[in-house]
Structure 1
């Protein structure tokens, strides 16, 4: 893995860690202004206030994520990060929530040398199970 690929993976992992800690400011800092996040398949959200609300609501369930691998492809100032994930969380009444998916994210290299997400779709696996 080269330096750019490692930096892209680290950016995604840093956002995931912030999300698990309910640090919504740090989560939002992982995205470019106007970024699209897909909380529900086929329904991207780009409004910053709505993103904050959605992330905050989900973080309240204290999610813990694990990735079973990472693939990063970089071309110039653009990268794609693909990773299968699993999540365990709990509702306020203690019920366990388990989800899994395939994250597909597009990131762009920033002037400060960081990488930020433009598109974040954790539901990429749904296309693999669609009936034809």
Structure 2
């Protein structure tokens, strides 16, 4: 991996570990102020306050994410991160939950050289699943 690819991957890993720790402030710092996050398939959220609230509510389920590989493509000041993921969590009633998907995130290099997410879609495989039906 190039240095830029490694840096992009470290942003993703930092966001994930911050989320696991319940540090929503650190999670939000991995995103640009103007971002789009799909907390539900096909329904992205662009308001940072709503995104923060959604992350907070989701973290109460104590989700644990694992990735089954990472692909990072960088071109200039843009990057895309693609990774299949699995999640386990506890529902509000204490029942075990699980889900999986394909994360597709677009990141942009900032003026200070760091990278932040602009688009985060953990449901990147949704259209494939719909066409297979």
Q: Same fold (TM over 0.5)?
A: yes
Offset at 1:128? 1.3
Give the number of equivalent residue pairs: 132
Aligned to 1:107: 107
1:74 corresponds to: 74
- Tell me the distance in 2 between the aligned counterparts of 1:42 and 1:54: 16
What does residue 16 of structure 1 align with? 16
Hey, what's the Cα distance between the residues in 2 that align with 1:104 and 1:33? 19
Runs of 5+ unmatched residues, structure 2: none
Residues 21 and 62 of structure 1 are in contact (CA less than 8 Å); yes or no, is this contact kept in structure 2? no
Is 1:32 aligned to residue 32 of structure 2? yes
Map of 2:117 onto structure 1: 117
Shift of 1:3: 0.4
User: Does the residue aligned with 1:124 lie in a helix, a strand or coil?
Assistant: coil
Q: Deviation of residue 110 (structure 1)?
A: 1.2
Task: Give the ranges of 4+ consecutive aligned residues of structure 1 lying more than 2 Å apart after TM superposition.
Answer: none
Scaled by the length of structure 1, what TM-score is found? 0.96
Q: What TM-score does the superposition give when structure 2 sets the normalisation length?
A: 0.95
Q: Which moved more, 1:76-85 or 1:107-116?
A: 107-116
**Cα deviations across residues 81-120 of structure 1 (Å, max 9, x unaligned)?**
0000000011243211101000000000112221100000
TM alignment of 1:53-64, pairs within 5 A: 53-64=53-64
Residue aligned with 1:33, SS = strand
Structure 1 unaligned runs (5+)? none
Whether the aligned pair in 2 keeps the contact of 1:109 and 1:116 (CA below 8 Å) is: yes
